[in-house]
Amino acid sequence: MNRRRQYAELIVVRASGFAADGQRRYPRWEATNADLQRWLGQEGVGGVILLGGSAADLALRCRQLQGWAQQPLLLCADVEEGVGQRFEGASWLVPPLALDGLWHREPARAEALAQAYGRCTGREARLLGLNWVLAPVCDVNNNPANPVINVRAWGQDPPAAAALASAFVRGLQAEGVLGCAKHFPGHGDTQDDSHLALPLLGHDRARLEAVELPPFRAAIAAGVASVMTAHLQLPSLDRERPATLSPAVLTGLLRQELGFDGLVVTDALVMEAIAAHHGPGEAAAMAFEAGADLLLMPADVEAALEALEQGEAEGRWPADRLERSLERRRRALATCRASTRTVAEALDGLMDPADRTLAESLLELSLQFQGTPQRWRGPGVNLLRIDNSLSCPFLPPTAPALVQPLEAGLRTVVVDGQSQPLDPARLPDGPVLLQVFVRGNPFRGSAAAAAEWPGLVRELVAQDRLAGLAVYGSPYVWEALRDLVPPHRPAAYSPGQMPAAQALVLGRLGLGPGAGDHPGDFTD
């Protein structure tokens, strides 16, 4: 095998979960089928990250991609909340942070649920053709201003994050798929989105040891197969290079001090934290030189391969460095269990009653409710605040957040977080149900903190128009608004945003099956 092809095994490219080029949702990042066939077949690219499509689309696509390759592929997806988070038809579970509160009350029960969460995710991933799950998030969610972590983390303090993330790893990898602890050495306490800029983590080494590193140590002790780097600047470890490109972080800290000998994978190299400062070829060479084994989504595959070949020729790393990474990749793949089921059989396997029970239990356990359910009678206003109207997989036309208020006679008004703040005077007349969808999401640029909403809630309360409050996602928004709601009005919170979470929350508010049995009535 020539050297270029060997380096190509360490590249992970982005592809749509849909089969046809015209179905790609993000053509800027998702390769065409012609490029994929060339890269996987002729060049020998060794990995694909997938996004988009249904569970059936994913099952067909994984088999198609493997058929184009001449060696076993690493097929992965960001399915931190179950495979159904990205691929409709599989289990979509509440975000990991839902178990943080339970862990502080009943740690053994929470860890058992986290392990079941991992088993569900791993089993469904394997059925559909994935062999690598880019989870768990091992960042500690300790900064309300963080725009990208939030409910994706397993805990708001190091003990909870460490215990729950490692339990997830044990459950996931027992199903024969690889896990990935991210984002090393810790992305929780940042205020910038690394998709858009290079965040600074200014803590000293003692603080890193106390807060950021314990979840990664726990995941490594649990045998996690891979660790993903964070695009962060950490002056206490390296004043020149971000963590993804830093030998001090990836080789000195992760390999030598923490003793990790699994796969080290970069976060996506197309993210602006890296791409704004380094060309696609040089970024790939610097990451490999620093200690990364796998290069996720280089901005230019050809440039990355050329830079890797040139870097070896220039002596930037030892001659056996490539073989060590290839051996780690082979070793990881050898632990994977491929599904032998047909696509139809795989889809039937998603209907597991235990997975449905787990999803429902997690929703119930993480729900918070206060006040008295109402008997809803229109006309009125269903006011939805969302992060971005162009990216709302949780709001299909049949979403309970849209349908159930409509059935009660409420008119829907949607406020996009990318637009100007809402002017309450422009709302239609009548009682208002406020539904807020805010959580950690990439490319938003801010945490969409609750500061913009208390004023509106106070004004609606003063006018006796606030009929109820539903918060989906960020616990910080819920904490900022819940005490502003009068005791006799209903308010509910779920860390999940998916339709199942909406149905549960709205049912508690009095919108849904059996709503007429509730004693409260906004028109009283």
Show which residues are catalytic.
Answer: 195, 267
CB 16 within 8 A of CB 24: yes
Long-range contacts of 342-350 (CB under 8 A, 24+ apart): 343/56, 343/59, 343/60, 343/63, 346/59, 346/127, 346/128, 346/129, 347/55, 347/56, 347/59, 347/89, 349/123, 349/124, 349/127, 350/55, 350/89, 350/90, 350/91, 350/124, 350/127
CB 195 within 8 A of CB 232: no
CB 414 within 8 A of CB 467: no
The whole-angstrom separation of Cα 284 and Cα 387 is 32
Q: Give the list of residues 6+ apart from residue 221 with CB closer than 8 angstroms, or none.
A: 166
The whole-angstrom separation of Cα 194 and Cα 186 is 12
Q: Which of 367, 368, 372 is nearest to 486 (CA)?
A: 372
Q: What does the chain come to in residues? A: 524
The 3-class SS string of 279-293 reads: CHHHHHHHHHHHCCC
Residue 93: what are its φ and ψ, rounded to 5°?
-100, 160
Structure tokens at 271: 């993210």
CB 339 within 8 A of CB 127: yes
Residue 419: what are its φ and ψ, rounded to 5°?
-100, -175
What does each C-alpha distance from 342 to 117, 119, 128, 212 come to in angstroms? 24, 21, 9, 42
The whole-angstrom separation of Cα 168 and Cα 442 is 23
What does each C-alpha distance from 75 to 205, 408, 506 come to in angstroms? 35, 45, 37
Helical H runs in 319-453?
Answer: 321-334, 343-349, 353-366, 400-407
The whole-angstrom separation of Cα 352 and Cα 354 is 5
The whole-angstrom separation of Cα 69 and Cα 41 is 5
Cα-only R_g, the chain: 24
